[in-house]
Structure 1
């Protein structure tokens, strides 16, 4: 798989896109896409974005939100993944792994609190943008997922792990690292980018979208299929799980001690996206063609110190951090 860093190094000047940090909004058992209305949902999620997030979300959430934990001040979307836990090799207790801001390629995430980094790109970050379709922004009410917690083989295409050591991200893998990572575990969630042009969602939250990649990662994969003819922005998340204080508890040669919050293996990694940009702000950025990271200045930014003030009230009151005898909901 071509990494985001490697792909960005090859990016053509004619491409535009966005890359920005979002601080953590909440960590709790809520999932308005897969389990709407459930309080609590089945497992713990790490959630960032707009403060309209709640157990049930319909319609234009961007119009209802009043603040966002994201650097792009007009982005009230929500982005979430399962939470990572460390399972103690000796006593079987669980510890919620802290989250670090992703170190920026070109600056910009200073002051972020936990959270993740979001990408909206054109043409799968490929040099070859000939014959590519116009990028059409998502519509109010749009949502999608990638991956599945029930997967036991290999993760969905584009869902990958890297072992951080110093400034090196290491090779991309389809499973957890086999040894301690001094800089943490780096995860990437890469969404499909071709829409059927009709449905804002589907029963499995995936069928209304189709992948633009044939093997893996940020590589050119040709035009959208006739069944899903509308090319949308390519969305991806990056998260750094801070394992540094847990590595000493991983005995040499012992199996991987990390699990997702659904007691799942690496294959079950997954992510959810709910669109919430204000008005035509995302379309404006996708229409630009000569810069990257900030949409050629077409999007209003806010300081992360301001973004960090955006909060929501806790909905599910239960302990999710510290040492736990069992995972929440298990």
Structure 2
């Protein structure tokens, strides 16, 4: 493990990587909605990964390469997601989602870094610098919302997408959102220091402007983009349901924590990211779209 990373984790995190949540300014108001907006929301219950479906694969970025992620991912939804997953295998699998959604939702695990993990000597874990005990999420919420300026069209089945940048320490990019329960109007890209009794919250907002043709692209981003700040999709793209994945953890008080990352990314909080592979049955996707466009809260 790089010496710098050892020092950072021994101290919990460096000052530059943490912030007290009450020092984070509240976010600006939401984008104003127009009369054409799709204001509904559809929430799915896919559990908290009680099954402990974990691996260091990434079927979107590194298909066919076990341990290709070099860090450990946590999954809800499809029960078989791994490096060898295909459209056909996902469609034939079971799911943790109550509504029959076969989609794969996954993100890097969060660890308490002053404890020994189950994978201290395994790839994706200690071998790649990701040490510590993996925390089980206290809450996982999957919500689809519409567009503030227009109706939405269905996502195509087997679409793959990513939000966030797992190389953000290098690129300077990223869309990491960290917060604490009771303060979720305050979002930061640093590890939050939460008050006693408050959960650490990670929020992943996925892109929602589809090119109308492709379920993937070489960058895994070009086919599905984020809208502009005013909620409008770029000309030539179409608004689709926006996925928000919210994961909350009861981090033991006083213990340091960090997400898994590529070794060279030093477990920086800005590298937080998540993946989504849409394997919803068409009937369920149509139900989601109808709900959003009708302005209802479902189910």
Number of the residue aligned with 2:86: 58
Which residue among 39, 48, 57 is the counterpart of 1:30? 57
- Residues 57-105 of structure 1, C-alpha deviations (whole Å, 9 max, x = no match): 333556312x3112322x110000011123239xx99323423343xxx
Structure 1 residue 279 displacement after superposition: 2.6
- Residues 171-206 of structure 1, C-alpha deviations (whole Å, 9 max, x = no match): 211211146664331000001100111211011111
Q: Distance in 1 between matches of 2:142 and 2:204?
A: 10
Alignment RMSD (CA, Å): 3.1
Number of the residue aligned with 1:122: 146
Q: Distance in 2 between matches of 1:59 and 1:93?
A: 30
Structure 1 residue 270 displacement after superposition: 0.6
Which residue among 114, 131, 140 is the counterpart of 1:94? 131
Q: Distance in 1 between matches of 2:283 and 2:244?
A: 20
Q: Which structure features the higher share of helix residues?
A: 2
- Residues 284-316 of structure 1, C-alpha deviations (whole Å, 9 max, x = no match): 22123142131xxxxxxxxxxxxxxxxxxxxxx
Structure 1 residue 117 displacement after superposition: 1.1
C-alpha spacing 1:192/1:136, structure 2 compared with 1 (3 Å)? same
Q: Are residues 1:71 and 2:108 paired?
A: no
Q: Are residues 1:292 and 2:294 paired?
A: no
Structure 1 residue 155 displacement after superposition: 5.4
Q: Secondary structure at the match of 1:284?
A: helix
Q: Are residues 1:232 and 2:233 paired?
A: no
Number of the residue aligned with 1:84: 110
Q: Secondary structure at the match of 1:81?
A: strand
Q: Distance in 2 between matches of 1:47 and 1:72?
A: 17
Which residue among 156, 179, 186 is the counterpart of 2:174? 156
C-alpha spacing 1:15/1:221, structure 2 compared with 1 (3 Å)? closer
Q: Secondary structure at the match of 1:287?
A: helix
1:147–1:271 Cα contact (<8 Å) kept: yes
C-alpha spacing 1:15/1:169, structure 2 compared with 1 (3 Å)? closer
1:14–1:291 Cα contact (<8 Å) kept: no
Structure 2: 5+ residue runs without aligned partners?
1-24, 116-128
Number of the residue aligned with 2:198: 183
2:138–2:250 Cα contact (<8 Å) kept: no
1:145–1:206 Cα contact (<8 Å) kept: yes
Q: Distance in 2 between matches of 1:204 and 1:93?
A: 25
Count of residue pairs the alignment pairs up: 249
Structure 1: 5+ residue runs without aligned partners?
103-115, 215-219, 251-256, 295-330
Number of the residue aligned with 2:281: 278
Q: Are residues 1:15 and 2:42 paired?
A: no
The ranges of structure 1 where at least 4 consecutive aligned residues each deviate by more than 6 angstroms after the TM superposition are: 10-14
1:83–1:260 Cα contact (<8 Å) kept: yes
Number of the residue aligned with 1:105: none
Give the TM-score of the pair, scaled to structure 2. 0.72
Give the TM-score of the pair, scaled to structure 1. 0.66
Q: Distance in 1 between matches of 2:26 and 2:90?
A: 32
Which residue among 210, 225, 236 is the counterpart of 1:210? 225
Structure 1 residue 154 displacement after superposition: 5.6
C-alpha spacing 1:93/1:209, structure 2 compared with 1 (3 Å)? closer
C-alpha spacing 1:61/1:234, structure 2 compared with 1 (3 Å)? farther
